[in-house]
Amino acid sequence: MGSDMALRLVFLPHGYPPHRTNGLAAVDQIIDGASIVDLRAAFEEYEYLGLLDTYPIWEDVRRDLKTLLKQRLDEFVNSLNDRDVDRLTFGGVAVYGTGGGSWGDSPTQSYETWDFMFGDVMPEPWQKAIGSALGLLTPVSDPNSTTVQFLRW
C-alpha cells in the first residue's frame, strides 16, 4: 500500500496580499446573478435542493450560499499564512504551496481549505472570477491555481 503526493500552488504578485474585499464583492455579484439552475449545478447536495423552485426558499438558499462562499473565501485567504503553506518568491511572483503525501485523505489542512479554489465546490467560471478578484495570477494552464498529483515515484 502506497501513498500519493499531492501539491497545490497559488500565485500572487509579490508583496501584494489577496484582495479580500474584491473577492467578497465578486461572491455577491456571482450569487446575485445566478439562476436557480446555476445554484443547483453548483451545490447539488444542498439541503434545500428539492425546494429550490419555491421563491422564499430560493432567496434563503441564495443568502445561505453567499454566507458559505464568503466564509470559505476568508478561510482560503487566511490559510495562505498557515504553517503548512510554503512561500517562495520568483521575480515578482509569490508562490504559495501546500500538500504532501496522502493515503486518500487531504495531506494538509490548507490543502483541504484550498478546495474553495480547486475543488468542485462551485463552477469553474465562478472560481476564475473570484480568483481574478482576489488578484491571483494564473499559470498557462489557466485555473486560478495549479494542482499537481504524482501517482508514482
List the chain domain ranges: 4-150
How many Cα neighbours within 13 Å face the side chain of 94? 15
Grid coordinates representing 57?
426558499
Separation CA 136–CA 10 (nearest Å): 7
For residue 147, which of 11, 43, 17, 13 has the smallest C-alpha distance?
11
Enter the pTM of the model.
Answer: 0.80
DSSP 15-79: T----HHHHHHHHHHHHHH--HHHHHHH-TT-TTGGGTTSHHHHHHHHHHHHHHHHHHHHHHHHH
Do residues 117 and 26 make contact, with C-beta atoms less than 8 angstroms apart?
Answer: no
Residue-level pLDDT, tens digit, the chain, 153 residues:
456 778 888 889 888 999 999 999 999 999 999 888 787 777 664 555 555 555 556 677 788 888 888 998 999 999 999 999 999 988 788 989 998 887 777 888 898 888 878 776 778 888 889 999 999 887 544 444 455 454 544
Give 94's DSSP letter: E
Separation CA 65–CA 128 (nearest Å): 17
